[in-house]
Structure 1
């Protein structure tokens, strides 16, 4: 087990600044959707998992997942911390389980679900095609 290079108080401050809404990857997805002329609702509390973007016209929900927090398979950003694994492994596993439960509930309600991974937001053209396919399949 390796020692942390910052104090527990400083680590706590750093972790408290991590946002759950309006993150940079989410803003990129919103920008691309807006450029494509797609209109959406944000964080609808009446839907399971409070999807980041909801397209009622297409019965489509988009979740923008951070690769680390939501454990993107085979992604370099989804590393496992070397310290405090007794804390991190259950926490990250719970995130994945919660995601799956929300997706299943949305499917049961007749919604299509698309996951956009943080690392996919780095190439806007690839992202645009991914969204076009998701919307086109329902249009």
Structure 2
């Protein structure tokens, strides 16, 4: 009985969070275009500005490359955001373990490990986001 009491509200919350995704999927999306959401400028690739559609039939734009780069940028931004959120949660959890240790050395060690691992995750995420920008700067792209 307790499981069903917990499962029903969780299912309702999940369904309500998924509703905007379902309604946005119902909109007609042009099959010959992709929406460019990021501004990027490369010497050999001509792309439209952000928040504009790139038409695959266009002779002036390299839409296949623009859409691919745009998708990669969006995906890496979402992954970066997720890693940052998880790192923050782990640091808070580590602080909680330290504060509630009450003299228990294992809890303090566990809290320190959580905080150390969150700092490592934060560093990896920042480097993963910064290294491509540094490489583009060095190569002049």
Bigger radius of gyration among the two: 2
TM > 0.5 fold call: no
Structure of higher RCO (CA pairs closer than 8 Å, 6+ residues apart): 1
Larger strand proportion of the pair: 1
Using structure 2 for the length normalisation, give the TM-score. Answer: 0.30
Using structure 1 for the length normalisation, give the TM-score. Answer: 0.30
Larger helix proportion of the pair: 2
